[in-house]
Structure 1
Amino acid sequence: MTLSEGRIGQFYFVKELKLEHTTKQRLEALGLIDGTKVELLNQNYNGAIVFKVRGTRLAIGKKIADAIFVEEVA
């Protein structure tokens, strides 16, 4: 599943980032790497996603969220 398909308040593990190189590098520099635990905080009506990774809140657009593949924490 992708991050944009997630539910608010749920935790996920990042499995894969299918993004262009520069965007992927930037997110990895912010701590969003394979295996990282993230919490989905909000999904705005325009598709923006707000999530928490390593204690930091990040906001990304729907296009980027659609390229971040996650797995629900059991």
Structure 2
Amino acid sequence: MSLFEGITGKSYEIRGLYVEEGITRRLQALGLNDGTIITVLNRKKDGALIIRVRGTRLAIGRHISQGIDVEERAL
């Protein structure tokens, strides 16, 4: 599933980044790599997501979140 489909308050493990190469490199520099655990903190009306990655809050737009493949993390 894509990160955009994620539910607020749940944690997910990144399985792949499927966006433009430049965006992929930037996301990897921010710590969004395969296997990284992220939590969806909030969803904005325009489709943007607020996520927590390695203790840092990030806002990502709809286009980018649709290109991040995730799997729900079992607790």
Report the TM-score when normalising by structure 2.
0.97
Shift of 1:62: 0.3
- Counterpart position of 1:49: 49
Unpaired segments of 5 or more residues in structure 2?
Answer: none
Q: How does 1:55-74 map to 2 (within 5 A)?
A: 55-74=55-74
Superposition pairs for residues 1-74 of structure 1, below 5 Å?
1-74=1-74
Cα distance in 2 for residues equivalent to 1:60 and 1:8: 14
Task: Give the number of equivalent residue pairs.
Answer: 74
Q: Give the deviation of 1:7 after TM superposition.
A: 0.4
Query: Residue 33 of structure 1: SS of its match in structure 2?
Result: coil
Structure 1: gaps (5+ residues): none
Identity, in percent, stands at 49
Looking at structure 2, the residues matched to 39 and 5 of structure 1 have their Cα atoms a distance apart, in angstroms, of: 13
Q: CA RMSD in A?
A: 0.4
What SS is found at the alignment partner of 2:9? Answer: coil
C-alpha displacement of 1:52: 0.3
